[in-house]
Amino acid sequence: MLPIGISFYTAQLRRIQRHSVSINRAAPVTGVSTINTQQASVLAALNVKKPAVDDQMSLL
């Protein structure tokens, strides 16, 4: 990874979001924002798996 300050990496990870959308009262569709190359490299450096939609999200 590039020698950039920790705030850059933190900002990259904060951009990863979970979404839930419902149209016309249909069942909601949930997902995770697209992970870009920089975010993927930060996650890899931290040895962390990419976020995925899981059953726990439906409890929120």
Task: Report the domain count for the chain.
Answer: 1
Asked whether residue 30 is domain-assigned, the answer is yes
pLDDT tens, position by position, 2-58: 556 778 878 888 888 888 889 998 888 888 888 888 888 888 888 988 887 665 555
Asked whether residue 60 is domain-assigned, the answer is no
d(CA 15, CA 4): 17
Beta bridge partners of 18: 32
Q: Which of 47, 48, 51 is nearest to 19 (CA)?
A: 51
Q: For residue 21, what are the domain limits?
A: 6-48
Asked whether residue 35 is domain-assigned, the answer is yes
Asked whether residue 32 is domain-assigned, the answer is yes
Asked whether residue 57 is domain-assigned, the answer is no
d(CA 38, CA 8): 10
Asked whether residue 21 is domain-assigned, the answer is yes
Phi, psi of 19 (to 5 degrees): -125, 150
pLDDT tens, position by position, 39-49: 888 888 889 88
